[in-house]
Amino acid sequence: MTSLSRKNQLLSKKIDVVIDFCGEYFYNDCMNLPSFTLQNQAYDQILDKILRNEYKPGQKISQKSVENDLKLGRTPVREALLRLRRDNLVYTLPQSGTFVTKVDLDAAVNARFIRENLERKVVIEAAEMKGNFLLSQAHDAIELQEKYAARGEYNLFFDADEEFHKSFYLATNHAQVWDWLQTINIQLNRFRWLRLTLSELPWAYLIEQHRDILNAVEAHDAKAADEAVAKHLHLMLDEEKEVIRTFRDYFDNIPEDDSPILS
């Protein structure tokens, strides 16, 4: 066997190893292209249904019903449910079935604390930047919020709200922090979705607070930006008792004396 043949054979073996290692990701992840496996797709869709209360806290869900809802097969749904169980979003009782966990108020408390303290630092950093050209996304998000609020499309309003806050993390090169927060914020976001269903939320006031934050950042007024974010993130405390009173059966770890828990 020539030296060239041996090299070609070794190269072929290396390629086989890469293919075996990467499996179904080979043509996607290994070639720097987007890849969404069926398991990840199932996980994301179930998580979205839990966050948006399509699968309600305490609701029993069968693997078969989820398969039908998602139009996905047994294996990806089963693996996704196992992953959600590890994330404490579903639990299984022997002889009874699988249930969506209730909203954990203790976890929501800690998430709100982390979110507020991180975001205040982020907007201060954004306000101290020389250029604000990356904040066009924040302006776009406010315009979308105005449109969705006028139409009563509060699911889309929530998405635009997230985009508004995310824009400051992107502008300050903290995209990874934002992604990390999403895992921490799951129980808090479940609370926020329940809050969205209340018909008397001050939608215009929420948008006004967003404008205050953005205006302070663009004016490079770090102190005003910090105060505006703190005020905005405390707003949910005003609706806390009403949310818990309306959806009491959806929560775990409610204080016996009904004292404020998100403060």
Residue 101 near residue 248, CB atoms below 8 Å? no
Q: Which residues of 74-113 are buried (b: 16+ CB within 10 A; e: fewer)?
A: eebbebbbebbeeeebbeeeeeeebbbbbbbbebbbebbe
Give the residues of the chain that fall short of pLDDT 70. 1-36, 132-134, 199-200, 237-238, 256-263
Spatial distance between the Cα atoms of 259 and 263, rounded to a whole number of angstroms: 9
Specify which residues 100 forms β-bridges with: 90
**DSSP annotation of 256:** T
At 131 the pLDDT is 72
Read off the tokens for 250. Answer: 């959806």
Q: How far apart are alpha carbons 186 and 94 in whole angstroms?
A: 26
The structure's pTM equals 0.76
> What values do phi and psi take at 50, rounded to 5?
-70, -45
Angle at 69 between CA 101 and CA 51, to 5 degrees: 35
**What pLDDT does 33 receive?**
32
| pLDDT confidence of residue 257 | 59
Residue 91 CA, distance from chain mean position: 20
Distance CA 46, CA 185 (A): 16
Give me the pLDDT at residue 132, please.
66
Quick one: DSSP state of residue 100?
E
Let me know: does 220 contact 128? Beta carbons within 8 Å: yes
pLDDT at 17: 40
